[in-house]
Structure 1
């Protein structure tokens, strides 16, 4: 399509903001995400415009791997990259389609309101920004976000929640001390809030769930319905990361914002392909690789005609 030198020149000249108008690090108005903020705002705007998601939503964190020196760099040992820029993501559980995402800028620039946990703050911020709060969507999140207060507040805002919860999160005494046998469950209910302690196998730890959507009715020696539903719908963000990583080139760069911008480009391509599958007959769909090639050729068509 064009020479390597031309591609490297375009990549070197890639900018999203005017550096002269961006507050510098010693300024009180400094924002570490300012260099890629326009692409984040544009992506969030178009993601919500073209898809009304299914009822099941998944909230989790994602990591854009980079070792660039910035106050935004986080260390998450459970991720393959370990170091990078953290994103809070709200996705459609079934497809991994991103509805809204927020970069985490660190404690200094994203302070937590008083009497509120970070997980609770993130969940409400994502749902409000996406315009999905109060519409009886069903949110799934892990034990970093889940708490009794969050579950109760969401239900008063006409939103269901299902998630695992840590033992030290103000649980009823029955749930804290529950020690069921293998493939057994212990339930406790207060109004719409249902708590469950479940052990899948003898060598596994007890897992505790909370839900405002499910009931405690289940067959003996079977996994409870809220645990089955959690396993089916919690992996939306991991699905998006996996699918995005297949074709992402992971281009090395010392510039933090450029690494984030390229990653967001890939996520926009993935969202576009999910929309394409939603609106195309299954017998006429092309592969994701062919879809990406078609987009690249259409973008480069003007340059190719000129040559």
Structure 2
């Protein structure tokens, strides 16, 4: 997609600047986390998210890769509601750290067997809980 036509086109140069600085100033250790965060926002915005179960109910959803020890943000992507698949989002957020045998810790929202296979192909290890409906391997299924 052309950056001049995306929903973040007004802030894209600033966001790109910070992302380059995140990657060049500090090299993360081996343990990484993949999770989401919310930037509070009550104004009108097309891609503002709403989650009634959270303290911050309205805001911008940001998917981030952070170092486990320090919490340093290595990379992030703001969800804009433009129809990007979850696997593509995970791959694009982790792309700068591929091939380095990092250990990625994630919750059950991001974890699936297809994601784990993708990580192993790109020299990453994954740890996290897995949902039964996301392609549980036969060796892990409970048998009665």
Task: State the TM-score, normalizing by the size of structure 1.
Answer: 0.43
For 2:14, what is the secondary structure of its paired residue?
helix
Structure with the larger RCO, 1 or 2 (CA within 8 Å, 6+ apart) = 2
Unpaired stretches in structure 2, ≥5 consecutive residues:
none
SS in 2 for 1:164: coil
When normalised by structure 2's length, the TM-score is 0.88
Q: Which residue of 2 aligns with 1:142?
A: 107
Contact 2:113 2:137 (8 Å CA) reproduced = no
Matched with 1:258 is none
Match among 148, 158, 163 for residue 128 of structure 2: 163
Q: Distance in 2 between matches of 1:148 and 1:81?
A: 31
CA shift digits 1:152-203 (9 cap, x unpaired): 1211211111111111111134534369xxxxxxxxxxxxxxxxxxxxxxxx
Mapping for residues 16-165 of structure 1, pairs under 5 Å: 30-106=5-81, 109-112=82-85, 118=86, 120-128=87-95, 131-165=96-130
Cα shift at 1:75: 1.4
What is the RMSD computed on CA atoms of the aligned residues? 1.8
Distance in structure 2 (CA, Å) of the matches to 1:156 and 1:174 = 21
Which structure is larger by alpha-carbon Rg, 1 or 2?
A: 1
Q: Tell me how far apart the structure 1 counterparts of residues 128 and 5 of structure 2 sit (CA, whole Å).
A: 36
Structure showing the higher helix proportion among its residues: 1
Question: 1:121 & 1:178 partners in 2: Cα distance?
Answer: 33
Hey, what's the Cα distance between the residues in 2 that align with 1:84 and 1:35?
Answer: 18
CA apart distance, 1:30: 4.0
Q: d(CA) in 2 for partners of 1:31 and 1:121?
A: 17
- Give structure 1 stretches of 5+ with no counterpart: 1-28, 113-117, 180-307
**Greater strand fraction, Structure 1 or Structure 2:** 2
2:69, 2:52 → 1: CA distance?
Answer: 26
1:167-186 → structure 2 map (5 Å cutoff)? 167-173=132-138, 175-177=140-142
Give the paired residue count: 141
